[in-house]
Amino acid sequence: MTVIPLKGRPWDELKTELEDAKKDDFKWEEGRMALYFYYLDEEVKRVQQEAYKTYWTENAMGKKTFFSMLKLESEVLEMGLALHHAPANAKATFTSGGSESIFMAMKTARDWARDTKGITEPNIVIPRTAHPAFDRSAAFLNIKVIRVPTTRADYRADPAELEKRFDSNTIMTMASAPNYPYGVFDPVADVADVAQKHNLWMHVDACVGGFLAPWVKKLGYDIPDFDFSVPGVTSISADIHKYGYAPKGASMMMLRDEALHKYQVFDFNDWERGPYVNDTMQGTRAGGVVAAAWAVMNYLGEEGYTLWAKVIMDTVKKLTDGIDAIEGLTVLKPHELCLFVYTSEDPDLDIGAVGEEMTKRGWFIGRQAEPVGIHMHLNPVHAKTADLYLSDLAASVSEVRNTGAVAKQAAAATY
Protein backbone atom coordinates (compact mmCIF):
# COMPACT_ATOMS: atom_id res chain seq x y z
CA MET A 1 0.00 0.00 0.00
CA THR A 2 1.33 3.48 -0.83
CA VAL A 3 1.84 5.74 2.19
CA ILE A 4 3.02 9.34 2.45
CA PRO A 5 6.83 9.10 2.28
CA LEU A 6 8.81 9.89 5.41
CA LYS A 7 11.05 12.33 3.58
CA GLY A 8 10.02 14.59 0.76
CA ARG A 9 11.58 14.34 -2.70
CA PRO A 10 12.82 17.11 -5.02
CA TRP A 11 10.27 18.65 -7.43
CA ASP A 12 12.44 17.98 -10.50
CA GLU A 13 12.40 14.29 -9.74
CA LEU A 14 8.62 14.30 -9.15
CA LYS A 15 7.95 16.31 -12.30
CA THR A 16 9.87 13.78 -14.39
CA GLU A 17 8.00 10.95 -12.71
CA LEU A 18 4.64 12.60 -13.44
CA GLU A 19 5.54 13.15 -17.07
CA ASP A 20 6.81 9.58 -17.45
CA ALA A 21 3.64 8.23 -15.82
CA LYS A 22 1.65 9.50 -18.81
CA LYS A 23 3.67 7.74 -21.47
CA ASP A 24 1.27 4.82 -22.02
CA ASP A 25 -1.91 6.96 -21.92
CA PHE A 26 -3.78 7.62 -25.17
CA LYS A 27 -2.44 10.84 -26.64
CA TRP A 28 -5.13 13.52 -26.49
CA GLU A 29 -2.88 16.19 -28.04
CA GLU A 30 -2.70 13.90 -31.08
CA GLY A 31 -6.49 13.46 -31.22
CA ARG A 32 -6.17 9.73 -30.49
CA MET A 33 -9.30 9.65 -28.32
CA ALA A 34 -12.93 10.03 -29.37
CA LEU A 35 -14.14 11.41 -26.04
CA TYR A 36 -13.10 12.82 -22.64
CA PHE A 37 -11.15 15.89 -23.79
CA TYR A 38 -11.30 19.17 -25.73
CA TYR A 39 -8.12 20.57 -27.21
CA LEU A 40 -7.69 23.50 -29.55
CA ASP A 41 -4.02 24.37 -29.70
CA GLU A 42 -1.00 25.20 -27.57
CA GLU A 43 -1.92 28.89 -27.49
CA VAL A 44 -5.33 28.28 -25.89
CA LYS A 45 -3.79 25.69 -23.57
CA ARG A 46 -1.36 28.38 -22.36
CA VAL A 47 -4.26 30.80 -21.71
CA GLN A 48 -6.13 28.11 -19.73
CA GLN A 49 -3.10 27.18 -17.68
CA GLU A 50 -1.88 30.70 -16.92
CA ALA A 51 -5.35 31.97 -16.00
CA TYR A 52 -5.81 28.93 -13.75
CA LYS A 53 -2.42 29.56 -12.10
CA THR A 54 -3.32 33.20 -11.44
CA TYR A 55 -6.19 31.99 -9.23
CA TRP A 56 -4.74 28.58 -8.41
CA THR A 57 -5.74 28.53 -4.73
CA GLU A 58 -8.55 31.08 -4.52
CA ASN A 59 -11.80 29.61 -3.25
CA ALA A 60 -14.76 30.50 -5.45
CA MET A 61 -17.04 29.88 -2.47
CA GLY A 62 -15.44 32.83 -0.65
CA LYS A 63 -17.31 35.62 -2.37
CA LYS A 64 -17.02 37.87 0.66
CA THR A 65 -13.23 37.79 0.45
CA PHE A 66 -12.33 37.18 -3.19
CA PHE A 67 -14.28 40.06 -4.72
CA SER A 68 -12.53 39.52 -8.02
CA MET A 69 -13.79 35.91 -8.14
CA LEU A 70 -17.33 37.15 -7.77
CA LYS A 71 -16.80 39.57 -10.64
CA LEU A 72 -15.18 36.99 -12.92
CA GLU A 73 -17.85 34.40 -12.15
CA SER A 74 -20.68 36.89 -12.73
CA GLU A 75 -19.20 37.84 -16.08
CA VAL A 76 -18.87 34.19 -17.16
CA LEU A 77 -22.47 33.53 -16.15
CA GLU A 78 -23.73 36.67 -17.88
CA MET A 79 -21.94 35.71 -21.09
CA GLY A 80 -23.52 32.24 -20.89
CA LEU A 81 -26.98 33.62 -20.17
CA ALA A 82 -26.78 36.08 -23.07
CA LEU A 83 -25.66 33.32 -25.43
CA HIS A 84 -28.76 31.34 -24.43
CA HIS A 85 -31.19 34.25 -24.91
CA ALA A 86 -32.03 34.40 -21.24
CA PRO A 87 -34.58 37.02 -20.12
CA ALA A 88 -33.47 39.79 -17.76
CA ASN A 89 -34.81 37.97 -14.69
CA ALA A 90 -32.90 34.72 -15.38
CA LYS A 91 -30.35 33.32 -12.93
CA ALA A 92 -27.30 31.13 -13.52
CA THR A 93 -25.01 29.08 -11.28
CA PHE A 94 -21.42 28.04 -11.96
CA THR A 95 -21.11 24.28 -11.35
CA SER A 96 -18.38 21.67 -11.68
CA GLY A 97 -19.80 19.94 -14.75
CA GLY A 98 -22.83 18.72 -16.62
CA SER A 99 -23.72 16.17 -13.97
CA GLU A 100 -23.86 18.82 -11.26
CA SER A 101 -25.84 21.22 -13.47
CA ILE A 102 -28.40 18.47 -14.13
CA PHE A 103 -28.45 17.54 -10.44
CA MET A 104 -29.13 21.14 -9.41
CA ALA A 105 -31.89 21.52 -12.01
CA MET A 106 -33.58 18.34 -10.75
CA LYS A 107 -33.21 19.32 -7.11
CA THR A 108 -34.72 22.72 -7.85
CA ALA A 109 -37.58 21.15 -9.84
CA ARG A 110 -38.27 18.64 -7.07
CA ASP A 111 -38.52 21.29 -4.36
CA TRP A 112 -40.59 23.55 -6.65
CA ALA A 113 -43.07 20.73 -7.32
CA ARG A 114 -43.26 19.85 -3.63
CA ASP A 115 -43.95 23.45 -2.68
CA THR A 116 -46.29 24.48 -5.47
CA LYS A 117 -48.11 21.19 -6.19
CA GLY A 118 -47.60 19.15 -3.03
CA ILE A 119 -45.89 16.31 -4.97
CA THR A 120 -44.02 14.09 -2.51
CA GLU A 121 -43.34 11.05 -4.74
CA PRO A 122 -41.99 12.76 -7.84
CA ASN A 123 -41.11 11.24 -11.17
CA ILE A 124 -39.51 12.61 -14.31
CA VAL A 125 -40.41 11.44 -17.81
CA ILE A 126 -37.44 11.68 -20.16
CA PRO A 127 -36.32 10.36 -23.56
CA ARG A 128 -34.24 7.17 -23.37
CA THR A 129 -31.41 9.06 -25.09
CA ALA A 130 -30.96 11.38 -22.08
CA HIS A 131 -27.61 11.28 -20.31
CA PRO A 132 -27.30 8.91 -17.30
CA ALA A 133 -26.76 11.99 -15.10
CA PHE A 134 -30.57 12.21 -14.86
CA ASP A 135 -30.84 8.74 -13.31
CA ARG A 136 -27.83 9.32 -11.09
CA SER A 137 -29.29 12.56 -9.77
CA ALA A 138 -32.67 10.86 -9.35
CA ALA A 139 -31.03 8.15 -7.22
CA PHE A 140 -29.65 10.82 -4.88
CA LEU A 141 -32.84 12.88 -4.87
CA ASN A 142 -35.33 10.05 -4.47
CA ILE A 143 -37.05 10.75 -7.78
CA LYS A 144 -38.40 8.00 -10.04
CA VAL A 145 -37.25 8.06 -13.67
CA ILE A 146 -39.41 6.94 -16.57
CA ARG A 147 -37.34 6.63 -19.73
CA VAL A 148 -39.33 6.61 -22.95
CA PRO A 149 -37.77 4.93 -26.00
CA THR A 150 -38.07 6.91 -29.19
CA THR A 151 -40.09 5.36 -31.97
CA ARG A 152 -38.75 7.83 -34.50
CA ALA A 153 -36.30 6.88 -37.23
CA ASP A 154 -34.40 10.11 -36.65
CA TYR A 155 -33.57 9.23 -33.00
CA ARG A 156 -35.34 12.31 -31.63
CA ALA A 157 -37.55 12.34 -28.55
CA ASP A 158 -41.19 11.82 -29.30
CA PRO A 159 -43.28 14.43 -27.41
CA ALA A 160 -46.53 12.45 -27.79
CA GLU A 161 -44.90 9.31 -26.35
CA LEU A 162 -43.48 11.34 -23.46
CA GLU A 163 -46.88 12.87 -22.79
CA LYS A 164 -48.53 9.44 -22.61
CA ARG A 165 -46.34 8.60 -19.61
CA PHE A 166 -47.03 11.77 -17.58
CA ASP A 167 -49.05 11.18 -14.41
CA SER A 168 -50.06 13.27 -11.42
CA ASN A 169 -46.61 12.81 -9.84
CA THR A 170 -44.63 13.89 -12.89
CA ILE A 171 -42.60 16.99 -12.18
CA MET A 172 -40.23 17.30 -15.12
CA THR A 173 -39.51 16.37 -18.71
CA MET A 174 -36.53 17.24 -20.84
CA ALA A 175 -34.93 17.49 -24.26
CA SER A 176 -31.28 17.13 -25.25
CA ALA A 177 -29.47 19.63 -27.44
CA PRO A 178 -28.10 17.37 -28.83
CA ASN A 179 -28.38 13.90 -27.28
CA TYR A 180 -25.14 12.03 -26.67
CA PRO A 181 -25.89 8.64 -28.26
CA TYR A 182 -26.76 9.96 -31.76
CA GLY A 183 -25.86 13.67 -31.80
CA VAL A 184 -29.33 14.90 -32.82
CA PHE A 185 -31.44 17.66 -31.29
CA ASP A 186 -34.67 16.63 -29.64
CA PRO A 187 -37.67 18.74 -30.75
CA VAL A 188 -37.24 21.20 -27.88
CA ALA A 189 -40.20 23.42 -28.83
CA ASP A 190 -42.61 20.46 -29.11
CA VAL A 191 -41.46 18.91 -25.83
CA ALA A 192 -41.75 22.35 -24.18
CA ASP A 193 -45.32 22.60 -25.52
CA VAL A 194 -46.44 19.38 -23.84
CA ALA A 195 -44.55 20.36 -20.69
CA GLN A 196 -46.41 23.68 -20.58
CA LYS A 197 -49.73 21.97 -21.19
CA HIS A 198 -49.16 19.90 -18.02
CA ASN A 199 -47.42 22.65 -16.03
CA LEU A 200 -44.18 20.62 -15.87
CA TRP A 201 -40.62 21.74 -15.40
CA MET A 202 -38.88 21.60 -18.78
CA HIS A 203 -35.12 21.11 -18.77
CA VAL A 204 -32.90 21.39 -21.83
CA ASP A 205 -29.66 19.45 -21.56
CA ALA A 206 -27.31 21.52 -23.70
CA CYS A 207 -24.20 20.20 -21.96
CA VAL A 208 -22.74 19.34 -25.35
CA GLY A 209 -24.41 21.92 -27.60
CA GLY A 210 -24.66 24.95 -25.32
CA PHE A 211 -21.33 26.50 -26.25
CA LEU A 212 -21.11 25.06 -29.77
CA ALA A 213 -24.54 25.05 -31.41
CA PRO A 214 -24.98 28.86 -31.38
CA TRP A 215 -21.84 29.30 -33.50
CA VAL A 216 -22.71 26.41 -35.79
CA LYS A 217 -26.12 27.98 -36.33
CA LYS A 218 -24.40 31.28 -37.13
CA LEU A 219 -22.35 29.47 -39.76
CA GLY A 220 -25.63 28.66 -41.51
CA TYR A 221 -26.23 25.07 -40.39
CA ASP A 222 -29.82 24.09 -39.71
CA ILE A 223 -29.82 24.03 -35.90
CA PRO A 224 -33.22 24.30 -34.17
CA ASP A 225 -33.87 26.84 -31.42
CA PHE A 226 -33.11 25.10 -28.15
CA ASP A 227 -32.60 27.75 -25.48
CA PHE A 228 -34.70 30.33 -23.60
CA SER A 229 -35.93 31.68 -26.94
CA VAL A 230 -38.25 28.64 -26.82
CA PRO A 231 -41.29 29.36 -24.60
CA GLY A 232 -41.71 26.87 -21.78
CA VAL A 233 -38.01 26.07 -21.25
CA THR A 234 -37.49 26.34 -17.48
CA SER A 235 -33.80 25.46 -17.09
CA ILE A 236 -30.73 24.69 -19.19
CA SER A 237 -27.46 22.89 -18.48
CA ALA A 238 -24.51 23.98 -20.65
CA ASP A 239 -20.92 22.86 -20.09
CA ILE A 240 -18.16 25.42 -20.32
CA HIS A 241 -15.59 22.64 -19.98
CA LYS A 242 -16.82 21.08 -23.20
CA TYR A 243 -17.11 23.49 -26.16
CA GLY A 244 -16.60 26.59 -24.00
CA TYR A 245 -13.03 25.19 -23.81
CA ALA A 246 -12.49 25.87 -20.11
CA PRO A 247 -10.43 23.33 -18.17
CA LYS A 248 -12.43 20.58 -16.49
CA GLY A 249 -14.74 21.62 -13.67
CA ALA A 250 -16.87 24.25 -15.45
CA SER A 251 -20.53 24.18 -16.38
CA MET A 252 -23.57 26.34 -15.81
CA MET A 253 -27.12 25.69 -14.74
CA MET A 254 -29.52 28.41 -15.87
CA LEU A 255 -33.00 29.18 -14.60
CA ARG A 256 -35.40 31.19 -16.74
CA ASP A 257 -36.79 32.89 -13.63
CA GLU A 258 -34.69 33.83 -10.60
CA ALA A 259 -37.79 33.38 -8.45
CA LEU A 260 -37.15 29.62 -8.77
CA HIS A 261 -33.67 29.96 -7.27
CA LYS A 262 -35.07 29.72 -3.72
CA TYR A 263 -35.76 26.02 -4.44
CA GLN A 264 -32.12 25.52 -5.42
CA VAL A 265 -30.58 26.99 -2.29
CA PHE A 266 -29.56 24.98 0.75
CA ASP A 267 -30.09 27.31 3.68
CA PHE A 268 -28.89 25.95 7.01
CA ASN A 269 -28.50 27.44 10.46
CA ASP A 270 -28.28 24.69 13.07
CA TRP A 271 -24.69 24.58 14.22
CA GLU A 272 -22.45 26.78 16.29
CA ARG A 273 -20.85 28.57 13.38
CA GLY A 274 -24.03 30.29 12.13
CA PRO A 275 -25.82 30.37 8.76
CA TYR A 276 -24.52 28.33 5.82
CA VAL A 277 -26.16 29.05 2.47
CA ASN A 278 -25.13 27.37 -0.78
CA ASP A 279 -26.67 26.76 -4.20
CA THR A 280 -24.32 24.07 -5.56
CA MET A 281 -23.33 20.53 -4.57
CA GLN A 282 -19.84 21.74 -3.79
CA GLY A 283 -18.59 23.59 -0.75
CA THR A 284 -15.10 24.82 -1.43
CA ARG A 285 -14.77 25.44 -5.16
CA ALA A 286 -11.70 25.87 -7.35
CA GLY A 287 -11.18 29.51 -8.26
CA GLY A 288 -8.73 28.61 -11.00
CA VAL A 289 -11.36 27.08 -13.23
CA VAL A 290 -13.57 30.17 -12.99
CA ALA A 291 -10.64 32.40 -13.97
CA ALA A 292 -9.68 30.05 -16.80
CA ALA A 293 -13.27 29.97 -18.12
CA TRP A 294 -13.36 33.77 -18.04
CA ALA A 295 -9.99 34.02 -19.79
CA VAL A 296 -10.80 31.53 -22.57
CA MET A 297 -14.17 33.17 -23.27
CA ASN A 298 -12.54 36.56 -23.60
CA TYR A 299 -9.54 35.19 -25.48
CA LEU A 300 -11.59 33.43 -28.15
CA GLY A 301 -14.53 35.80 -28.40
CA GLU A 302 -17.36 35.14 -30.86
CA GLU A 303 -14.90 35.13 -33.72
CA GLY A 304 -12.68 32.48 -32.18
CA TYR A 305 -15.59 30.26 -31.16
CA THR A 306 -17.08 30.52 -34.65
CA LEU A 307 -13.79 29.71 -36.28
CA TRP A 308 -13.29 26.59 -34.17
CA ALA A 309 -16.92 25.58 -34.74
CA LYS A 310 -16.20 25.63 -38.46
CA VAL A 311 -13.12 23.47 -37.95
CA ILE A 312 -15.27 20.92 -36.10
CA MET A 313 -18.06 20.89 -38.68
CA ASP A 314 -15.59 20.60 -41.57
CA THR A 315 -13.96 17.67 -39.78
CA VAL A 316 -17.32 15.99 -39.20
CA LYS A 317 -17.95 16.25 -42.96
CA LYS A 318 -14.53 14.95 -43.89
CA LEU A 319 -14.73 11.99 -41.51
CA THR A 320 -18.34 11.03 -42.27
CA ASP A 321 -17.75 11.22 -46.05
CA GLY A 322 -14.57 9.20 -45.65
CA ILE A 323 -16.24 6.56 -43.46
CA ASP A 324 -19.23 6.24 -45.81
CA ALA A 325 -16.78 5.70 -48.67
CA ILE A 326 -15.31 2.61 -46.97
CA GLU A 327 -17.23 -0.40 -48.22
CA GLY A 328 -19.36 -1.99 -45.49
CA LEU A 329 -19.36 1.01 -43.16
CA THR A 330 -22.22 3.44 -42.81
CA VAL A 331 -22.69 6.61 -40.75
CA LEU A 332 -26.06 6.83 -38.99
CA LYS A 333 -28.14 9.80 -40.13
CA PRO A 334 -29.15 12.34 -39.14
CA HIS A 335 -26.40 13.74 -36.96
CA GLU A 336 -26.29 17.46 -36.43
CA LEU A 337 -23.30 18.67 -34.50
CA CYS A 338 -20.06 17.15 -33.26
CA LEU A 339 -21.24 13.60 -32.52
CA PHE A 340 -21.98 10.71 -34.84
CA VAL A 341 -22.03 6.91 -34.94
CA TYR A 342 -20.96 4.48 -37.64
CA THR A 343 -21.85 0.84 -37.95
CA SER A 344 -21.28 -2.07 -40.29
CA GLU A 345 -24.01 -2.87 -42.76
CA ASP A 346 -22.20 -6.01 -43.87
CA PRO A 347 -22.88 -9.18 -41.81
CA ASP A 348 -19.35 -10.40 -42.62
CA LEU A 349 -17.73 -7.26 -41.21
CA ASP A 350 -17.77 -7.23 -37.41
CA ILE A 351 -17.70 -3.59 -36.27
CA GLY A 352 -16.45 -4.60 -32.82
CA ALA A 353 -13.45 -6.28 -34.45
CA VAL A 354 -12.86 -3.13 -36.54
CA GLY A 355 -12.81 -1.20 -33.25
CA GLU A 356 -10.26 -3.63 -31.84
CA GLU A 357 -8.05 -3.17 -34.89
CA MET A 358 -8.26 0.59 -34.42
CA THR A 359 -7.27 0.18 -30.77
CA LYS A 360 -4.19 -1.80 -31.87
CA ARG A 361 -3.32 1.19 -34.07
CA GLY A 362 -3.43 3.54 -31.07
CA TRP A 363 -6.97 4.94 -31.27
CA PHE A 364 -9.26 5.01 -28.25
CA ILE A 365 -12.63 4.04 -29.65
CA GLY A 366 -16.00 5.19 -28.30
CA ARG A 367 -18.32 2.20 -28.48
CA GLN A 368 -22.02 2.46 -29.13
CA ALA A 369 -24.29 -0.26 -27.71
CA GLU A 370 -27.50 0.26 -29.72
CA PRO A 371 -26.99 -0.26 -32.59
CA VAL A 372 -23.55 -1.79 -32.10
CA GLY A 373 -21.16 0.69 -33.61
CA ILE A 374 -18.39 3.21 -33.10
CA HIS A 375 -19.25 6.54 -31.51
CA MET A 376 -17.32 9.69 -32.40
CA HIS A 377 -17.25 12.89 -30.35
CA LEU A 378 -15.13 15.43 -32.17
CA ASN A 379 -13.22 18.46 -31.10
CA PRO A 380 -10.90 20.69 -33.12
CA VAL A 381 -7.77 18.58 -32.67
CA HIS A 382 -9.38 15.80 -34.72
CA ALA A 383 -8.98 18.01 -37.79
CA LYS A 384 -5.28 17.24 -37.69
CA THR A 385 -5.73 13.49 -37.46
CA ALA A 386 -8.72 12.93 -39.76
CA ASP A 387 -6.63 11.63 -42.70
CA LEU A 388 -4.65 9.27 -40.50
CA TYR A 389 -7.87 8.09 -38.81
CA LEU A 390 -9.45 7.31 -42.19
CA SER A 391 -6.42 5.45 -43.52
CA ASP A 392 -6.12 3.42 -40.30
CA LEU A 393 -9.85 2.69 -40.50
CA ALA A 394 -9.58 1.46 -44.09
CA ALA A 395 -6.64 -0.74 -43.07
CA SER A 396 -8.56 -2.05 -40.05
CA VAL A 397 -11.57 -2.94 -42.21
CA SER A 398 -9.30 -4.81 -44.69
CA GLU A 399 -7.65 -6.66 -41.84
CA VAL A 400 -10.99 -7.76 -40.39
CA ARG A 401 -12.22 -8.82 -43.83
CA ASN A 402 -9.01 -10.81 -44.49
CA THR A 403 -8.99 -12.59 -41.13
CA GLY A 404 -12.77 -12.83 -40.59
CA ALA A 405 -12.13 -11.61 -37.03
CA VAL A 406 -15.00 -11.13 -34.61
CA ALA A 407 -14.84 -8.89 -31.53
CA LYS A 408 -13.11 -10.50 -28.56
CA GLN A 409 -14.55 -8.17 -25.96
CA ALA A 410 -18.21 -7.22 -25.60
CA ALA A 411 -18.76 -4.64 -28.32
CA ALA A 412 -20.01 -1.97 -25.94
CA ALA A 413 -17.34 -0.85 -23.50
CA THR A 414 -18.28 1.26 -20.52
CA TYR A 415 -18.58 4.95 -21.38
Among 76, 162, 195, 208, binds ligand PLP (CB under 6 A): 208
Pick one of 52, 112, 180, 215: the residue that binds ligand PLP (CB under 6 A). 180
Task: State which residue, 101 or 396, has the beta carbon closest to ligand PLP.
Answer: 101
Closest CB to ligand PLP among residues 48, 251: 251
Residue type, 340: F
Q: Of the ranges 92-100, 107-115, 285-293, 351-359, which one interacts with ligand PLP (CB under 6 A)?
A: 92-100
Give how many residues touch ligand PLP by CB under 6 A: 12
Alpha carbon distance 201, 4 (integer Å): 49
Per CB under 6 A, the segment of 201-209, 269-277, 301-309, 327-335 that binds ligand PLP is 201-209
CB closest to ligand PLP, residue no: 98
Sole binder of ligand PLP in the list 52, 60, 80, 99 (CB under 6 A): 99
Q: Is 358 exposed, middle or buried (0-12, 13-18, 19+ CB in 10 A)?
A: buried
Choose between 98 and 322: whose C-beta lies nearer to ligand PLP. Answer: 98
Map the footprint of ligand PLP across residues 226-285, applying CB under 6 A: 239, 251
* Helices within 29-186 (DSSP H only): 42-54, 67-83, 98-117, 133-141, 159-165
Q: 105-124: which residues touch ligand PLP (CB under 6 A)? A: none
Task: Pick the closer one to ligand PLP by CB: 83 or 126.
Answer: 126
Phi, psi (rounded to 5 degrees) for 392: -65, -35
Stretch that binds ligand PLP, among 202-210, 225-233, 307-315, 395-403 (CB under 6 A): 202-210
Distance of CA 143 to the CA centre of its chain: 22
| Closest to ligand PLP by CB, 97 or 373 | 97
End-to-end CA distance of the chain: 29
CA–CA dist 22, 34 (Å, integer): 18
Q: Which residues make Cβ contacts (< 8 Å) with residue 380, sequence separation at least 6?
A: 39, 40, 41, 308, 311, 312, 315
| Collapsed DSSP state (helix, strand, coil) of residue 328 | coil
Q: Write the secondary structure of 6-67 as one string of H (helix), E (strand) and C (coil).
A: CCCCCHHHHHHHHHHHCCCCCCHHHCCECCCCCCCCHHHHHHHHHHHHHCCCCECCCCCCCH
Q: Which stretch binds ligand PLP (CB under 6 A): 204-212, 226-234, 366-374, 381-389?
A: 204-212
| 408 vs 353: CA distance, rounded Å | 7
What x-and-dash track marks residues 2-41 binding ligand PLP by CB under 6 A? ----------------------------------------
132: preceding bond cis by omega (within 30 degrees): no
Q: Which amino acid, residue 327?
A: E
Compose the 295-334 pattern: x for residues touching ligand PLP by CB under 6 A, - for all others.
----------------------------------------
- Give whichever of 97 and 322 is closer to ligand PLP, judged by the CB atom: 97
Closest C-alpha to 324, from 307, 300, 304, 341: 341
Smallest gap, in angstroms, from Cβ of residue 98 to ligand PLP? 2
205 makes contact with ligand PLP (CB under 6 A): yes
Maximum Cα–Cα distance across the chain: 73
Nearer Cβ to ligand PLP, position 190 or 239?
A: 239
CB closer to ligand PLP, 110 vs 242: 242
In the complex, what is the shortest distance from the CB of residue 394 to ligand PLP, in angstroms, rounded to a whole number?
29
Q: List residues binding ligand PLP (CB under 6 A).
A: 97-99, 131, 133, 176, 180, 205, 207-208, 239, 251
